[in-house]
Amino acid sequence: MSALLEVEELRVEFGTRHGVVEALRGVSLAVGPSETLGIVGESGSGKSVTAFCVMRLLDRAGRVTGGRIRFRGEDITRAGRRVLAPLRGAAMSMIFQNPRAALNPIRPVGLQIADVIRAHEAVSAREARERTLALLEAVRIREPARRLEAYPHELSGGMCQRVMIAMAIACEPSLLIADEPTTGLDVTTQKAVMDLLAETTARRGMAMLLITHDLGLAAQYCGRIAVMEQGRVVEEAAPARLFGAPGHPYTRRLVAASPRRDSTVAGLVGEREAAPVAPTGRRLLEVSGLRKEFGGVAAVEGVSFHLDAGESLGLVGESGSGKSTLSRLVCRLLDPTAGNIRFEGEEIGAIPAGRFHRSPWRREIQLVFQDHGESLNPRFSAFDCIADPLRRLLGMREGAGLRARVAECAERVGLPGELLGRFPHQLSGGQKARVGIARAIAPGPRLLVLDEPTAALDVSVQAVVLHLLDRLRREAGLAYLFVSHDLNVVRMMCERTIVLQAGRVVEEGRSDALFATPKARYTAELLAAIPHFEPEAEPALG
Amino acid sequence: MRGIAGRAGRRFVSSLPALFGVLVFTFLLMRVLPGDPAVFFASGPNAGQAEIEDIRRRMGLDKPVPEQLLLYLRDIGTGNLGRSMTTGQPVLNDLRNRLPASLELTFCALLIALVLAVPLGILAALRPGSVVDHGVRLLCTLGVCVPTFVSGLLLIYVLYYLLGIAPDPTGRIDIFASQPPEVTGFLLLDAAIAGEWEAWWAAASQLILPACTMALFVLAPLARMTRASMLAVLTSDFIRTGEALGLSRRRVILVYALRNALLPVITIMGIVFSTMLGANVLVEKVFSWPGVASYALDALLSSDYAPVQGFVLLMASIFVLVNLVVDLLYGLADPRVSIG
């Protein structure tokens, strides 16, 4: 079988302000016709650079310094626009992460799909429209005729990705490159989009290059997986072999760090499991009949739950389920429309959100955000980020006391002291996460609300941060309200879990029982949508 | 569509307090400025105190300032902007006669500026750091640093005095050419409506030099804005999508990038237009253009309250109107804003 796409010893450099950075150091890959190859790896491993290089979409700073890319036997490493234009979109096409941004915001999606068809085939506008309609049906968009006129902002993220897929398959290419196609989508949407991709490529006999950081996803949908680390392919094998008996140490680490149905927080980082946290039975937070409306539409409706001191409660649901609204209500960043929030028996729901920062309860309830980069002030050093709540909430003055307290917080989250002088952009993702956590624990809270704290992190970093959070909770007897879309993470981190759907609680119970035998249908759907990771799982091709 | 109209309506209502503030502020400012209009408009340097007092009484200046303000607001409410002491005409009439001249000049200048600035901005953005980019930057810098009276005089010197291509730079139309019958007050439009192409040509050739002078001045903000927003758009994800799916370079740049890049340019355009209309007094003076700005300047120099107040009110209203139009345009150009 001759390969459709062959990448041989590809080397790419990026010219940056700090000199030349080698992004690819000799990558070799081959994709056969109608084969699905997965490339997995963490950020910076060069998996996206490889894909962009194949499509010749590298930005100006990137330069191919060695190796070859052959498509259908033809060398396209240095091909000009004239050679590439008929290939791109027609013979090989690509779909991207963040589908809404990948579509032109001010052009109806129907026209955008038609643009692709008309770029490669001489068809009339009407014919292009008919084919667009057929494509929208093929990617299972409901009411396709109406969606032709829709703009990307009027469609959900999953729908935008379907439109993107329609554009990519419009001219029946033989290779589809999918660069993190479901990152940022809900787990059920992810399953629907991936199933659609697998089915479409199988039915049309297309080959697919699936780039993902999610090992489970790659295992489930790919026939072969290449693991990349620092610009090299370190291992390549069928999923069963790769995950059953990983050969390379990096693959072993990656596999160990990825949460599975049976993994534990300690297990992710290769440590012995700690004893479960003993229940204190002392009520810390009590929420009853909580309701929040936005413009007359209820985002959270009749939600009641409680949280004991030292307990960790998971909050799961898809986007739009109201989990973020609920966490903001509890943090007192939003005012409830109705209902009570009691903290230590005190009604804090009545204190207006705008004045809550002056309330003595502010230091008791702290937040850890999802995007650790965006949630740190770019003009504050790590020290100032951590010291800020100490100055404002505890009224601490500059001096040895403050410095000692900040240093202590940094130590508790494992942030080396010499990093305290750095600014957020000089820190790695994991280090920024640590600063964000140190800032949250600095004023000595009793309740931490964690809003998808590891969603933006690589799996190995996620493992370490989860372990850190688990340790902090045990050490300080903190209570957690843990919001996440990753059910495996919630299962490991929380004793109890609440499942939200459309602003209402559909199921609540002990995490182990809830995940083993879900009672609500919605919970079962969510669980079924998690990509399988077990070595014996069959790839879902065709 | 209804959303856009509603937004425009809300905008209009919310700009009324600002308009009122401008009214009161100008009124008070004129009262504070040195110069006594009664003395200025007295028959001569040796006019008696009694005559000056008489003029003052006739102008209503003997009353206390708050009362004057109320009277003024009442007049405005009834559509009376007062009478100019210099021309002896009602201010409303003067403005009505002179506004088309200013508008015509500004519109043409804006058009010329856009026709130059947008392609230059695109070229500069497509090759950042190249010779073209630096050339555009130089042109923009020159346009901004050289005052309009200098560039205007330079154009007159070269094109009229040295080369003799341009006509005598005085007024809107050659005094010997026949004026087209007035319909809109815009000479180019009136001439075209009447079918008098000779008059049209005469008016256009008078217009071209002052319009270019002004265009040169506002080239920079428009071209720089086009360049900056084009650069930002060219790095966005959907441009990459277009490239990845094999759209032609032309389509990617003109349909995908440019239309998105022009959104902020629309906003800048509104500001540039309003600024030009009021700030083109130097151009109007250099080219003896009978516009509203030179009218207001003359009035200000002779402490003639009513025309200045009328002018400021007119400018404020136009500013509000232009912002409304920009809002509407933006709503049409960007489907995302109509839901916000």
Report pLDDT digits (tens) over B106-138.
999 999 999 999 999 999 999 888 899 999 999
**Which of A59, A88, A105 shows the shortest C-beta gap to B245?**
A88
Mean pLDDT over B189-210 rounds to 86
Collect all residues of chain B within an 8 Å Cβ-Cβ radius of residue A107: 255-256, 259
* Cβ contacts of A438 within 8 Å, gap of 6 or more: A385, A386, A406, A409, A410, A412, A413, A415
The tokens for B119 are 């392609």
Write down the residue that tokens 């540039």 correspond to. B272
Residue A298, pLDDT > 50, answer yes
Q: In A487-508, which positions are buried (b, 16+ CB within 10 angstroms) versus exposed (e)?
A: bbbbbbbbbbbbbbbebebbbb
Collect all residues of chain A within an 8 Å Cβ-Cβ radius of residue B238: 101-105
CA distance B271 to A403: 50
Q: What is the pLDDT at residue B338?
A: 59
Enumerate the β-bridge partners of residue A157. none
Q: Would you give the DSSP letter of residue B146?
A: S
Question: Quick check: B157 contacting A, CB < 8 Å?
Answer: no
Mean pLDDT over A298-310 rounds to 92
- CATH 3.40.50.300 domain locations along chain A: 5-258, 283-529
Angle separating helix axes A429-441 and A382-393, nearest 10 degrees: 10
Q: What is the pLDDT at residue A537?
A: 46
Contact B246 A59 (CB under 8 A): no
Residue A104, pLDDT > 90, answer yes
CB-CB contact of A500 with A322 (8 Å): yes
More confident of the two residues B179 and A143: A143
Contact B247 A115 (CB under 8 A): yes
Question: Quick check: B229 contacting A, CB < 8 Å?
Answer: no
**Which of A103, A116, A153 shows the shortest C-beta gap to B238?**
A103
Domain A5-258, CATH homologous superfamily name and number: P-loop containing nucleotide triphosphate hydrolases (3.40.50.300)
Residues A175-198: tens digit of each pLDDT: 999 999 988 788 888 899 999 999
What is the percentage of chain A residues whose pLDDT exceeds 90?
58
Collect all residues of chain B within an 8 Å Cβ-Cβ radius of residue A122: none
Q: What is the pLDDT at residue A538?
A: 47
Angle separating helix axes B91-126 and B187-194, nearest 10 degrees: 100
**Which of B251, B259, B336 shows the shortest C-beta gap to A115?**
B251
Q: What is the pLDDT at residue A297?
A: 86
Q: What is the pLDDT at residue A274?
A: 75
For chain B, domain boundaries: 2-77, 91-339
Identify the band that residue A534 occupies on the pLDDT scale cut at 50, 70 and 90: low
Identify the band that residue A367 occupies on the pLDDT scale cut at 50, 70 and 90: very high
CB-CB contact of B152 with B283 (8 Å): yes
Q: What is the pLDDT at residue B2?
A: 61
Residues B36-62: tens digit of each pLDDT: 777 776 666 666 778 778 877 877 777
Q: Would you give the DSSP letter of residue A396?
A: P
Q: Would you give the DSSP letter of residue A537?
A: P
Q: How far is CA A121 from the centre of its chain?
A: 37
Mutation target among B126, B235, B241 for the A interface, most CBs of A within 10 A: B241
CA distance A440 to B333: 43
Q: What is the ipTM of this complex?
A: 0.80
**Which of B247, B260, B339 shows the shortest C-beta gap to A106?**
B260
Smallest Cα distance from A56 to chain B, Å: 8
Topology, domain B91-339:
MetI-like fold (1.10.3720)
Length of chain A equals 542
Q: Integer distance in angstroms from the first to the last C-alpha of chain A?
A: 20
Q: Taking all residues of chain A, what is their mean pLDDT, rounded to a whole number? A: 89
Cβ pairs bridging A and B (under 8 Å): 82
Q: What is the pLDDT at residue A285?
A: 94
Mean pLDDT over A471-475 rounds to 90
CA distance B280 to A7: 62
Contact B246 A119 (CB under 8 A): yes
CB-CB contact of A168 with A93 (8 Å): yes
Residue A482, pLDDT > 50, answer yes
Residues B65-101: tens digit of each pLDDT: 888 888 888 888 888 888 887 788 888 888 988 899 8
Q: What is the pLDDT at residue A275?
A: 75
CATH no. of A283-529 = 3.40.50.300
Write down the residue that tokens 């729901």 correspond to. A349
The tokens for B233 are 């758009």
